[in-house]
Chains A and B, each alone.
Chain A
Amino acid sequence: MEEKHDEGFPAPGTFVIISIFFVMFVLFYFLNWKWLSMVWNIGK
């Protein structure tokens, strides 16, 4: 029977870098909306 080789994701380092990128993206997005909400104090 032919043995099946699963080498997994070929670029785990890139995966980590891209994950950090996404986290920074989300944080920056959130911070900007937060700042916007502080500038426009709707309802206060």
Chain B
Amino acid sequence: MANGSEFRTCPITGKKVFAATQNLIWINAVTAVVFILIGGIMALLVGLTRWPAVHLLSADLFYRFLTAHGLNMLIFWIIFFEIAGLYFGSSVLLNSRLAAPKVAWLAYILMLVGAVLVDVMVFTGKATVMFSSYVPLQADPLYYLGIILFAVGALIGCGIFFGTLAIAKAEKTYEGSVPLMTFGLSAAAIIAVFTLACGAIIYIPTLLWSLGLITNLDPGVYRLIFWGLGHSSQQINVTAMVSIWYLLGALTVGAKPVNEKICRFAFLLYILFINLASEHHLLTDPTLSPAHKMVNTSYFMYMAVLASMIHALAIPMAVEVAQRKKGYTKGLFEWLTKAPWGEPGFPALIFSLFIFGFIGGITGVVYGTEQLAIKSHNTWAMTGHFHGTVVGGTTLAFMGLTYYVIPLIFRREIIGKKLATLQPYIFAIGIILIALGMGGAGTLGSPRRHWDITFADAVIPYSFDPAVLFFTTIAAIGVIVAVVGGAMYVGVSVLSVFFGRKMAPNEAKIL
């Protein structure tokens, strides 16, 4: 039928998978993988340029490719995947048809056109403005138009998610409360609406400014609203990632949170407080008052930290309880050592948790403190922090989920299961090296977004502590390892999606 009501029943979960939903999840997820491929190639080129032993690119290409790396990884890969996640978390998990599939396709086209426009502008050197595109740095108007189209498309995607929740409730397709993952994705979608609205709001006057229709655009106002998009987009990632952690725990070991109400409360804290983390970008700006900065970054922001602490305890605890119920009760850690480390989802979950918490989380809270932010903000340590959160945490969790989505939703068998199992290990090692290398070099003063830390052509020479070179080398080795892990992910997922054996309708097998 053309109204999007045709469905199949998943032989493993018993959930209805509507054809329209399946197609939209497929197209958004596949597109996401294309953008991680572009971003990954840029990561290699940029990483090898930061390494003085190689120093691969010219300054012009370095900044061009760094801009492309940031946008393709932080925005396009992640948000395309999240839109796929929103359709999964609403339509599939709630057994509901998707609200307005045709509009969802329109949203996808807007996002795709926007992303392609941005990439064309960046790669042709018409928008070498870095991820933040701070005014008065000016890009081609089509760059800003691309971002606006992408943000509007993603906003429509969020609307489709909320519409599907409403349909599911009205048509009583589920009983009781929505599943925890859907609840978490709802929190992510609420944060996304704020975030994407900020993007659309600030890029419309910036577009007019680049067209010469507005002569003056206040850099302070730009920064204030831009970071409502720039950093808050990472808060969507955190919230979506935590939702996926719960799902991966359930898929791999049958984990269920000991107290689900507490977990839901933690998601509520994210909605209320997590965007305050954006303020660390504004700590030296005169836009906000000192009292505002102090109250929000030193007090209220810790409510979001509390939420992360709750999840950080709830998820391993759920895994441990599930494993102990299976009889793995010996000592403190038999539940962990006897866990399914040979399935890609489990190491992806544990490494994602570990890297996000121990590296990205700890550094994020410390560097977000007002006084410490001033010392670390423009150093490479900050880059190490967000590679711990958004790459080691979010991207790795998304990668782990992909290996379940392919057989469950796309009904294709994974090609190269051994590679798929090895992939999270390789990627995690690479990201740990990157984060630690960047953190070490940055703590010793190595700047972020810098083409040549040896300052070879500088009028005033400067030499860092020799340990900076050591840590930079560690980070560069990490880049190579992580790119290998990323290539394994792209290879396995693309081959499986297009060439994997088609599974029989009643075939109840995941991996």
A residues with a Cβ closer than 8 A to B are 10-14, 16-18, 21, 24-25, 28-29, 32-33, 35-36, 39
Q: Which stretch in B23-31, B311-319, B485-493 binds the other chain? A: B311-319
Beyond the given pairs A24-B358, A28-B362, A36-B375, 19 more chain A to chain B contacts, judged by CB atoms under 8 angstroms and listed by A's residue number, are: A10-B317, A10-B320, A10-B324, A11-B317, A13-B332, A13-B333, A13-B335, A14-B320, A16-B332, A17-B316, A18-B313, A21-B358, A21-B362, A32-B366, A32-B367, A32-B369, A32-B372, A32-B376, A35-B375
Which residues 318-336 in B have Cβ within 8 Å of A in the complex? 320-321, 324, 332-333, 335-336
Q: Are B332 and A24 in contact (CB under 8 A)?
A: no
Count of chain B residues with a beta carbon within 8 Å of a chain A beta carbon = 25
How far, in angstroms, from A25 to B317 measured CA to CA in the complex? Answer: 20
Which residues 66-106 in B have Cβ within 8 Å of A in the complex? none
B215 within 8 A of A: no
How far, in angstroms, from A5 to B488 measured CA to CA in the complex? Answer: 50
**CB-CB < 8 A to B320: which residues of A?**
10-11, 13-14
Residue in chain A with minimal CB distance to B328: A13
**Chief secondary structure at chain A's binding surface:** helix
Q: Could you tell me the distance in whole angstroms from the C-beta of A19 to the nearest C-beta in chain B?
A: 11
Q: Could you tell me the distance in whole angstroms from the C-beta of B333 to the nearest C-beta in chain A?
A: 5
How far, in angstroms, from A17 to B315 measured CA to CA in the complex? Answer: 12
B211 within 8 A of A: no
Q: Are A25 and B362 in contact (CB under 8 A)?
A: yes
Residue in chain A with minimal CB distance to B375: A36
Contact of B332 among A12, A25, A33 (CB under 8 A): A12
**CB-CB < 8 A to B335: which residues of A?**
13
Q: A25-B362, A35-B443 are in contact. Are A13 and B336 (CB under 8 A)?
A: yes
- The winner among A12, A17, A39 for most chain B CB atoms within 10 A is A17
- The winner among B324, B332, B363, B443 for most chain A CB atoms within 10 A is B332
